[in-house]
Amino acid sequence: MPASSRITRRGVLAGAAAGAITTSIVALGGWRIGQRPVLSPEASGAAGPQTGRTPLAIPPLNEGAVGPDGVREFALAAQAGTSAFLPGKQTPTWGYNGPFGGPTLRAAEDEQVRVSVRNDLDEVTTTHWHGMKLPALADGGPHQPIEPGETWTAEWTVEQPASTLWYHPHNHGTTEAHVYRGLAGLFLIDDAEPPQDSPLPREYGVDDIPLILSDRSFAADGSFAEQHRSAAGMLGDTILVNGTVAPEFIATRAQTRLRVLNGSTARSYRLQLDNGSLELVGTDSGLLPEPVMIDGITLTPGERAEVIVTLEPGDTVILRSAAHSLGLLGTTERASGTRDSFDILAIARDTDDDDSVGSPELADWVAAGGFLAAPFPADAEPDKRRTVTLQDSKINHRRMNMNRIDEVVTVGDRERWFITNEHFLPHNLHIHNARFRVHSIGGREPAAELRGWKDTVYAPPSRTVIVDVEFGTSTDPHLPYMFHCHLLQHEDQGMMAQFVVVQPGETAGPLDTPAIRDGGSHDSH
Ligand code: C2O
Ligand code: CU
Ligand code: CU
């Protein structure tokens, strides 16, 4: 449907379902975050007359092109530009192939992909494929710097099933700033052979909708303010969803799939719907075998969730972030914004569409024996146990050192990691080139929202999170992967460590990367 007809249909929606819309306007008051001044929907020049909201921006889909060699090729350019988030203000921003954010890349399991990234910025950056299993050379961490004017090319074979991954800078010491300025996009992986009769919504931008959440503060001139720092990092008073302030989405199908990424550098979200439960179908690194109904899901920076929203024609629901707890001391909770509650997105179903007639409901399909993903593997004894403790700016009592190999993983081993946050601040842990399942938290079974495939997990103070990790199949004794806290200020401060993956019996090291040769051989800070 072209954009113009969508706008016309919004008018129809407001006329025919005035009751529902009026109710939602009343419910829309809640943009206030914390005690700081916030932007009301009315303050936005693009505010629509019906719901008071701006149409949600959808990042462009980029499926690349398959060349004669059978490789699916993508081209990205990191560049500076300006974006209009506030009425009458231009905000200097960074983006991939545009002024802010980045295209949604899409490829399938078993495909070979090649992505070139040109750096049109005036400082060195990197591009990391978060959640991807791939050779260390292609990982895009701090060891693969892209100098201004240069192009870096990463190539790998997708070796994981359907999942919602993402990409962002990972430069040594400046990751937070580069992400905050706007560099982030999604990388969707499809199953090699998606179940043909699956009613899981999969039409990008129509019923399969990405939601990249981030928060920003603005200076008087409209630029991003980088000074609102808490112990967790930068907290903004304005929520951007795909770069849109106070957005609405007009659903044209009975079921809409939302792929939600916490792209904030510090803020934690508690996703809820204002009219009931969430139907969770996927977490960070893949789909659940079957949907599960949950009250809500907490996303700390870097985590993702896929949920299904079901609407009758004329219905409006609000996706919100509720006040929640990360199990911290009172004042520390504020550092992650957990006391804030606010609206994320209004989703209104068109009144005059009848796409719902006969449309299969996911729940019915599952009840009839359908499944979204392979069943989870049974618990098995790990081949290797590893302890990861988190302290102030440190992992296992050490700060990041680009020259040091902290851990050596043997390819094919199933590893059980015991992650303990020994600090009073919120931290999470993200492991590159891997996916994992949460075995237990503080000796208890994980909540339903944490039972899927993960690559990033929140680590509450004084408790041990036990995860069973499955690494990618590539090996390289000389090039490392990272594991780190995904609160990006903490990562930049040194809360990161390195591992290599080797063949059985192979000796690890020495590390040999351009970043080290070019003088990256210093301790961070
Ligand atoms: Cu999202 Cu090491 O990264
Ligand atoms: Cu990552
Ligand atoms: Cu941290």
Can you tell me the distance from the alpha carbon of 342 to that of 236, in angstroms, rounded to the nearest whole number? 13
Give the distance (Å) from ligand 3 centre to CA of residue 485: 5
Q: Which atom of ligand 1 is nearest to the CA of 491?
A: 2
Give the distance (Å) from ligand 1 centre to CA of residue 141: 8
Can you tell me the distance from the alpha carbon of 384 to that of 467, in angstroms, rounded to the nearest whole number? 12
Q: Which atom of ligand 1 is nearest to the CA of 166?
A: 1
Which ligand is the nearest neighbour of the Cα of 129?
2
Judged by DSSP in three states, 318 sits in strand
- Residue 2 has a pLDDT of 32
State the SS3 of 358-421.
CCCCHHHHHHCCCCCCCCCCCCCCCCEEEEEEEECCEECCECCECCCCCEEEECCCEEEEEEEE
pLDDT, tens digit (0-9, with 9 covering 90-100), for 64-74: 999 999 999 99
CATH architecture of 200-357: Sandwich (2.60)
What distance lies between CA 262 and its chain's CA centroid? 5
Residue 510: asked if its preceding bond is cis (omega within 30°), the reply is yes
Token reading at 479: 């090039």
Give the distance (Å) from ligand 1 centre to CA of residue 76: 18
- Residue 12 has a pLDDT of 28
Give bridge partners of residue 92 from the DSSP assignment: 82
Can you tell me the distance from the alpha carbon of 223 to that of 344, in angstroms, rounded to the nearest whole number? 22
Give the distance (Å) from ligand 3 centre to CA of residue 310: 36
Of the options 2.40.37.10, 2.60.40.420, 3.40.50.300, 3.20.20.10, the CATH number for the domain spanning 384-502? 2.60.40.420
The residues, ordered by sequence, that sit 6+ positions from 22 with a Cβ below 8 Å of its Cβ are: none
Which ligand is the nearest neighbour of the Cα of 302?
1
Token reading at 98: 């545009």
Protein residue with least CA distance to atom 1, ligand 1:
130
Q: Which atom of ligand 1 is nearest to the CA of 168?
A: 1
pLDDT, tens digit (0-9, with 9 covering 90-100), for 100-129: 999 999 999 999 999 999 999 999 999 999
Which ligand is the nearest neighbour of the Cα of 300?
3
CA distances from residue 272 to 237, 334, 474, 485 in whole angstroms, order as listed: 19, 20, 38, 25
CA distances from residue 225 to 330, 429, 478 in whole angstroms, order as listed: 26, 27, 39
pLDDT, tens digit (0-9, with 9 covering 90-100), for 349-385: 988 766 655 566 888 888 888 899 999 999 899 999 9
- Residue 8 has a pLDDT of 27
Token reading at 316: 């409006």
- Residue 459 has a pLDDT of 98
Name the residue among 152, 149, 110 with its Cα closest to residue 129.
152
Q: Which atom of ligand 1 is nearest to the CA of 456?
A: 1
Give the distance (Å) from ligand 1 centre to CA of residue 144: 14
Name the residue among 142, 137, 171 with its Cα closest to residue 156.
137
Can you tell me the distance from the alpha carbon of 118 to that of 252, in angstroms, rounded to the nearest whole number? 37
Residues with pLDDT less than 50, the chain: 1-50, 520-525
Give the distance (Å) from ligand 3 centre to CA of residue 18: 46
Q: Which atom of ligand 1 is nearest to the CA of 496?
A: 2
Q: Where in the chain is the domain with CATH 2.60.40.420?
A: 200-357, 384-502
Name residues contacting ligand 1 (CB within 6 A).
Answer: 128, 130, 168, 170, 302, 430, 432, 482, 484, 486
Q: Which atom of ligand 1 is nearest to the CA of 482?
A: 2
Give the distance (Å) from ligand 2 centre to CA of residue 341: 28
Which ligand is the nearest neighbour of the Cα of 434?
2
Protein residue with least CA distance to atom 3, ligand 1:
130
- Residue 359 has a pLDDT of 63
- Residue 230 has a pLDDT of 85
CA distances from residue 483 to 23, 46, 165, 234, 408 in whole angstroms, order as listed: 46, 41, 16, 21, 12
Can you tell me the distance from the alpha carbon of 77 to that of 140, in angstroms, rounded to the nearest whole number? 14
Give the distance (Å) from ligand 2 centre to CA of residue 434: 9
Around ion ligand 2, residues with a beta carbon closer than 5 Å are 130, 432
Q: Which atom of ligand 1 is nearest to the CA of 483?
A: 2
- Residue 211 has a pLDDT of 98
